[in-house]
Amino acid sequence: MGLGNGTNILSFSTFSKRQHFFNTDFQILILIWSISQVLRVGM
């Protein structure tokens, strides 16, 4: 990437933390969306 090794490690750990939080939020959104779809079909 052309940056220092320490900077790469730091930014990568921050990115993976963000990615983890994003994945969790995304799964919750999908769960809410699928529940709403089931409720809509049920009604």
pLDDT digits (tens, 9 = 90+) for 1-43: 455 555 666 666 776 777 777 778 888 999 999 999 999 887 6
Q: How many CB atoms lie within 10 A of CB 9?
A: 10
pLDDT score, position 23: 75
Look at the block and give the residue holding tokens 């009604």.
Answer: 43
pLDDT score, position 37: 92
Residue 28 near residue 35, CB atoms below 8 Å: no
pLDDT score, position 7: 63
